[in-house]
């Protein structure tokens, strides 16, 4: 649990609009995420769910509305952006590990050059988190020598080494072979049980059922429905949600 | 029933040769004819270069000319001109030491242990300062020798190394500017790169050596040598910038996003994530560019510098050794070969080293 909680939501999104050229990718999104809350975002491809969480750490620039992260508003102030990115970890669909560095160096780089941690401290932290994601023995290998599941766990460890207050997951298991999905989800479940604030874009409905406080369904750039998992899976009111669920869960 | 599976054993070396070259009568005939031709040519070359060649200066040019083989005496008699050009005879040890300084500097900066900002800056700073003081003199009790008297190998190495030292960082800057998000910056940079690339190197050298002094105030123009080096560095950087940019395009977009998400600043992302990967992608083409630049140093003869090739012309051009130009060119070719071949082998070493961790 994070003990140094300041008041206010972890993430507050108000009337968020995002365009790609003339394509309206996000339409007036409103979402508030409390500290320690676990949110699962799902929806058909192209529904804007990745775009939305990429706006939270400014990998995408929004065109309208307000995003406030940990009390700081995301605007053109580079200092704000860098400050928020330090506190928000992100895990990508394609891992995006740095291929020219070892696993350990991947985990140590940002704490050393962004947080200015001494090498010994950064290494101790990195080894601790590699232990946590259950691959301490791979520390000296390069990413290209690991399996997809192992790479994704390294990516989680790398994000955790910055000791972020919020973790964003952008379809973390979509690029994995089926037998590797479980090992990544296990790590995410552990993380959730320790009280990390998490926003996960994923189609793993079992994971949503197990850890989510709220499930959010997006379609066409809008939040169509949001509900606790029990309610979401058993009695969703919206036709589009029911159709999506029947497609995801149906076979 | 148990089956024992045995991998077919590889044929022996002789059997392998027989299969490859002597499987059928016509093939065997062709193989034999080719072999005979190669042996004959190798024998002719060795005979000319070594067995029938003259190595000493004792007989003078006449005895040498009468010999059936190569006349290496011309090298023994004229190597100083080839290596040092018009540099004053009694001071040529300085030019030799300066060559050593440049070579040591280059070799040191090729060793991975020296790849930290401070060490590489130290090596280059000390190396170029040493070269400059040794060549120019006018201090520490060394007699003054102006740039117009520098020549031969020492000049070739100096022009090549300084071209790369100035041109390479410039190329990286141009490549970064060209991929800027601000259209007016990327377009202007693109225009500069394409502009320089559409001009012949000779015209750029000529402009910097001859035309520029009329346009610039005296104090800014500097010596012709440095203007020529700047011109050649500019030319180098225009080509190298595109090579670096190509390397950058090969780095997946996700790499920069991951670095951003970790809170790294622009320069941290460039220095730690983008460039190391881009340079790995760009390495083969980069070595190519270095090789081309080394050979292009010979063009400075156009604006009146006696680099190694021009010094070679001077070495046989004076009367008595006029007949021995083949030997002089062979010698110069050998020097080029030593440098360029080492460069290529170093490139291969780097490629092996950088591919660590790739499956």
Tell me what pLDDT residue B359 has: 42
- How far is CA B77 from each of CA A20, B59, B63, B141, rounded to the nearest angstrom? 74, 12, 14, 30
**A3 within domain boundaries:** no
Q: How many CB pairs under 8 A join A and B?
A: 73
Q: pLDDT tens digits for A128-141?
A: 999 999 999 999 99
Asked whether residue A30 carries a pLDDT value surpassing 50, the answer given is: yes
Nearest Cα residue in chain A from B280: A100
Tell me what pLDDT residue A3 has: 39
Q: pLDDT tens digits for A54-70?
A: 999 999 999 999 999 99
Give the full edge-to-edge strand order of the sheet including A197-201: A88-91, A166-170, A197-201, A38-42, A214-219, A222-227
**B50 within domain boundaries:** no
Tell me what pLDDT residue A33 has: 94
Tell me what pLDDT residue B358 has: 55
Phi, psi of A65 (to 5 degrees): 90, -175
Tell me what pLDDT residue A41 has: 95
Asked whether residue A123 carries a pLDDT value surpassing 50, the answer given is: yes
Q: What CATH number should be reported for the domain holding residue A224?
A: 3.40.50.300
Query: What SS3 state is found at A91?
Result: strand
Least confident segment among A108-122, A148-162, A231-245, B69-83: B69-83
Query: What SS3 state is found at B74?
Result: helix
Could you say which residues of chain B have pLDDT below 70? 1-3, 6, 8-9, 57, 59, 356-359
- Tell me which chain A residues have a C-beta less than 8 angstroms from the C-beta of B259: 98
What is the share, in percent, of chain A residues with pLDDT greater than 90? 75
Indicate the average pLDDT of chain A: 90
| pLDDT band for position A126 (cuts 50, 70, 90) | very high
Cβ contact, residue pair B280, A86, below 8 Å: no
Tell me what pLDDT residue A251 has: 57
Nearest Cα residue in chain A from B277: A100
**B3 within domain boundaries:** no
Tell me what pLDDT residue A5 has: 44
Count how many domains chain A has: 1
A contact test, residue of B255, B258, B359 with most A CBs within 10 A: B258
Q: How high is the ipTM of this complex?
A: 0.91
Q: Which two tokens stand for residue B227?
A: 């203007």
Query: What SS3 state is found at B54?
Result: strand
Tell me what pLDDT residue B234 has: 93
Look up the domain containing B349 and give its range: 73-354
**B171 within domain boundaries:** yes
Contact by Cβ (8 Å): A82, A75: no
Contact by Cβ (8 Å): A106, A97: yes
B contact test, residue of A99, A122, A156 with most B CBs within 10 A: A99
**A68 within domain boundaries:** yes
pTM: 0.84
Count how many domains chain B has: 1
Q: What CATH number should be reported for the domain holding residue B279?
A: 1.10.3720.10
**A69 within domain boundaries:** yes
Query: Tokens 């990516």 belong to which residue?
Result: A155
Q: pLDDT tens digits for A205-246?
A: 999 999 999 999 999 999 999 999 999 888 887 888 888 888
The span from the CA of A136 to the CA of B186, in Å, is 44
The span from the CA of A9 to the CA of A202, in Å, is 22
Indicate the average pLDDT of chain B: 85
Look up the domain containing A20 and give its range: 11-249
- Tell me which chain B residues have a C-beta less than 8 angstroms from the C-beta of A141: 357
**A176 within domain boundaries:** yes
**A183 within domain boundaries:** yes
């Amino acid at each position: 649990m994070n003990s140094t909680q300041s008041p206010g939501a972890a993430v507050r999104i108000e009337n968020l609009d995002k365009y790609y050229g003339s394509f309206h990718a996000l339409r007036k999104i409103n979402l508030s995420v409390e500290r320690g809350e676990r949110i699962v975002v799902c929806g058909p491809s192209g529904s804007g769910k990745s775009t939305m969480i990429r706006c939270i750490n400014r990998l995408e620039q929004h065109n309208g509305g307000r995003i406030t992260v940990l009390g700081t508003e995301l605007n053109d102030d580079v200092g704000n952006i860098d400050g928020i990115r330090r506190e928000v970890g992100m895990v990508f669909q394609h891992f995006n590990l740095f291929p020219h560095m070892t696993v350990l160096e991947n985990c140590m780089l940002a704490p050393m050059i962004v947080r200015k941690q001494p090498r010994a401290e950064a290494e101790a932290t990195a080894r601790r988190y590699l232990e946590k994601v259950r691959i301490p023995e791979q520390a000296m290998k390069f990413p290209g020598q690991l399996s997809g599941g192992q790479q994704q766990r390294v990516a989680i460890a790398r994000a955790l080494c910055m000791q972020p207050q919020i973790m964003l997951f952008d379809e973390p298991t979509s690029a994995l072979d089926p037998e590797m999905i479980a090992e990544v989800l296990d790590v995410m479940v552990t993380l959730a049980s320790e009280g990390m604030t998490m926003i996960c874009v994923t189609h793993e409905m079992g994971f949503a059922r197990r850890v989510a406080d709220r499930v959010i369904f997006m379609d066409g750039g809008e939040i169509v429905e949001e509900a606790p998992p029990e309610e979401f899976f058993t009695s969703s009111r919206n036709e589009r949600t029911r159709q999506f669920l029947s497609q995801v869960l149906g076979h | 029933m148990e089956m024992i599976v045995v991998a077919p054993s590889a044929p022996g070396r002789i059997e392998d040769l027989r299969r490859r070259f002597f499987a059928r009568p016509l093939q065997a005939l062709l193989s034999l004819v080719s072999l005979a031709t190669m042996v004959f040519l190798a024998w002719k070359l060795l005979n000319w270069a070594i067995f029938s060649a003259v190595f000493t200066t004792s007989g003078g040019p006449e005895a040498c000319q009468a010999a059936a083989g190569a006349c290496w005496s011309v090298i023994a008699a004229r190597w100083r001109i080839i290596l040092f050009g018009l540099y004053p005879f009694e001071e040529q040890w300085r030019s030799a030491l300066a060559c050593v300084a440049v070579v040591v500097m280059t070799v040191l900066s090729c060793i991975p242990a020296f790849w930290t900002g401070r060490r590489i800056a130290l090596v280059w700073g000390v190396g170029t300062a040493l070269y400059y003081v040794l060549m120019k003199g006018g201090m520490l009790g060394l007699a003054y020798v102006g740039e117009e008297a520098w020549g031969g190998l020492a000049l070739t190495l100096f022009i090549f190394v300084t071209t790369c030292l100035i041109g390479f960082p410039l190329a990286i800057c141009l490549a970064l500017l060209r991929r800027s998000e601000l259209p007016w910056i990327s377009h202007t940079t693109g225009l500069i790169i394409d502009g320089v690339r559409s001009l012949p190197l000779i015209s750029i050298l000529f402009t910097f050596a001859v035309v520029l002094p009329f346009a610039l105030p005296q104090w800014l123009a500097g010596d012709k040598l440095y203007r020529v080096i700047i011109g050649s560095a500019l030319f180098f950087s225009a080509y190298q910038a595109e090579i670096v940019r190509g390397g950058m395009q090969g780095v997946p977009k996700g790499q920069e996003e991951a670095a951003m998400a970790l809170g790294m600043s622009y320069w941290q992302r460039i220095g730690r994530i983008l460039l190391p990967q881009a340079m790995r992608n760009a390495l083969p083409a980069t070595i190519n560019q270095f090789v081309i630049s080394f050979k292009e140093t010979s063009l400075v003869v156009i604006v009146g510098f006696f680099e190694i090739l021009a010094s070679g012309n001077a070495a046989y051009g004076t009367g008595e050794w006029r007949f021995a130009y083949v030997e002089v060119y062979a010698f110069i070719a050998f020097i080029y070969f030593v440098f360029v071949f080492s460069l290529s082998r170093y490139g291969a070493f780097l490629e092996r080293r950088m591919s660590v961790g790739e499956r």
